[in-house]
DNA sequence: TACTTGACTGATAGTTACTATCAAGCTGTA
DNA sequence: TACAGCTTGATAGTAACTATCAGTCAAGTA
């Protein structure tokens, strides 16, 4: 059983955000002790994980709540949950692709700046060209 | 030369966001025609690309403005820009790693739901376990 | 026993980065 | 000439945090 602070550290989500998520109904089975303090079980950590996952991929909170609700309803919602997960996976792969391209751009810039510094040469390109040259794709 | 609408389509950024970014000073060299309409050059598109890149990796707008300003200052800021790009690249790699792990989770869930549907079996796990089982890492 | 420290609570306000709505202006076709 | 379709800036609204605050509680120390 973990306090909100321990969960924040363990899962790398701020206490504020965890409270906000709790208030949003993202942790449907969470328990409290006699002092009204939230105590997260291992299962609750798994809910944190899936919420973090969906959030990171850009799923909006309303849609996350919908998914959580479907989970708590039970068997009858499996097909719908399956679709949500497939959609999310698709979005995740798109993000991954975009990130890869953007990493290429950053690599190009890193090399560019590095060569300018190493050679101690003067940047003769104007800022537009030096900073925005196309990456060879 | 592209209008804001054309840039929005081409770069997959909304017109609203482009205007917001323009107002934030993210396109320092942008020109207007005699009717005050913004016209984006190819170089401006490269600025859009780098802003999109930084934004996507989580750089906040204030920091993006700082980078843009450094670019427009010129040679003297190359070392500083180099550091920014290195930091951004680091963050991008971290995002990539996180995304990979989250894709594993989604894959696990996809398979799980799929097998439940295919076998037409009943979901015997409670919602917590069915939706939050740990992915074998 | 009194006091301080530290973690928790909910309520509320503030911030960031959009996102939508609006009135107004220009342009090209019917 | 009208109107459709694009643009503009100003302004308001929204999502998702993020920070601040007053208050509760338990444990440790003087």
Per residue in A7-45, pLDDT tens? 999 999 999 999 999 999 999 999 999 999 999 999 999
Contact B40, B7 (CB under 8 A): yes
pLDDT at B98: 96
Of A42, A59, A57, A31, the closest CA to residue A6 belongs to A42
Interface test with A, best of B27, B53, B55, B76 (most A CBs within 10 A): B53
The per-residue DSSP string of A84-106 comes to: HHHHHHHHHHHHHHHHHHHHHHH
| Mean pLDDT computed over every residue of chain A | 89
Mean pLDDT of A42-54: 97
Residue A3: what pLDDT? 95
The radius of gyration of chain B from alpha carbons, rounded to an integer in Å, stands at 22
pLDDT at position A127 over 80:
no
Domains parsed from chain B with CATH numbers: 1-73 (1.10.1660.10)
Q: Which nucleotide is nearest to B22 (CA to C1')?
A: D9
Q: Flag whether residue B111 sits within 8 Å of chain A, measured between CB atoms.
A: no
Residue B34 pLDDT level (bands cut at 50, 70, 90): very high
Residue A134 confidence class, pLDDT cut points 50, 70, 90: very low
Comparing A12 with A119, the larger pLDDT belongs to: A12
- Among protein residues, the one whose C-alpha sits closest to the C1' atom of D20 is A16
- Residue B85: which of A29, A56, A109 has the nearest Cβ? A109
């Amino acid at each position: 059983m973990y306090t909100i602070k321990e969960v924040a550290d363990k899962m790398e989500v701020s206490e504020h955000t965890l409270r906000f998520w709790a208030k949003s109904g993202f942790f449907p089975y969470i328990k409290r002790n006699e002092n009204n303090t939230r105590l997260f079980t291992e299962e609750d950590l798994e809910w944190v994980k899936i919420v973090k996952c969906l959030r990171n991929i850009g799923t909006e909170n309303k849609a996350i709540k919908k998914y959580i609700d479907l989970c708590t309803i039970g068997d009858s919602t499996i097909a719908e949950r399956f679709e949500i997960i497939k959609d999310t996976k698709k979005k995740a792969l798109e993000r991954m692709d975009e990130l890869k391209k953007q990493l290429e751009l950053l690599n190009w810039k890193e090399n560019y700046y590095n060569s300018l510094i190493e050679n101690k040469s003067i940047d003769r390109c104007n800022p537009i060209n030096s900073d925005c040259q196309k990456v060879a794709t």
